[in-house]
């Protein structure tokens, strides 16, 4: 059974750097075709894709966010970390991580429950 869980601070101050961790089980990010992605959703708004990291360590970022984002993985810990620099109140959102099975049709087949991050001084 595949599970993912997001963790990180619930509250950050403007200009701070946010660090979120996605801890997963049921698959390995060293397996060919496995990827993990981050998506966010401001309250009452639509989903926004942020970043993705693949089994071979390829990394991809949102065009508008790429100067602020860094994604990395620790295969031994089954974790993916997303950092977002220079946080602003507009970055208040629920942040989700999800697994992508690229070997089976790029299926975003498993999602975490999400973690709400509020940016406020």
CB nearer to another protein: give 6 or 91.
6
96 contributes a contact to another protein by CB under 8 A: yes
Distance CA(118)–CA(75), nearest Å, equals 29
105 contributes a contact to another protein by CB under 8 A: yes
User: In the range 49-78, which residues lie near another protein by CB under 8 A?
Assistant: 49, 52, 60-63
Task: For residue 25, give Cα distances in angstroms to 46, 47, 68, 75, 98.
Answer: 27, 24, 28, 11, 12
Least Å distance, CB 51 to another protein, is 9
113 contributes a contact to another protein by CB under 8 A: yes
Sheet arrangement for strand 79-84: 3-7, 18-25, 79-84, 69-74
- Which residues would be at the binding site for another protein (CB under 8 A)? 37, 39, 46-49, 52, 60-63, 96, 100, 105-109, 111-114
């Amino acid at each position: 059974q595949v599970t993912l869980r997001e963790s990180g601070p619930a509250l950050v101050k403007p200009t701070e750097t946010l660090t979120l961790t996605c801890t997963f089980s049921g698959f390995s990010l060293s397996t060919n075709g496995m990827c993990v992605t981050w998506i966010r959703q401001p309250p009452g708004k639509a989903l926004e894709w942020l970043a993705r990291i693949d089994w071979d360590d390829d990394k991809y970022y949102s065009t508008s966010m790429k100067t602020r984002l860094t994604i990395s993985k620790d295969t031994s810990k089954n974790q993916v970390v997303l950092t977002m620099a220079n946080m602003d109140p507009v970055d208040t959102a629920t942040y989700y991580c999800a697994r992508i099975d690229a070997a089976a049709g790029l299926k975003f087949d498993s999602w975490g429950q999400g973690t709400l991050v509020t940016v406020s001084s």
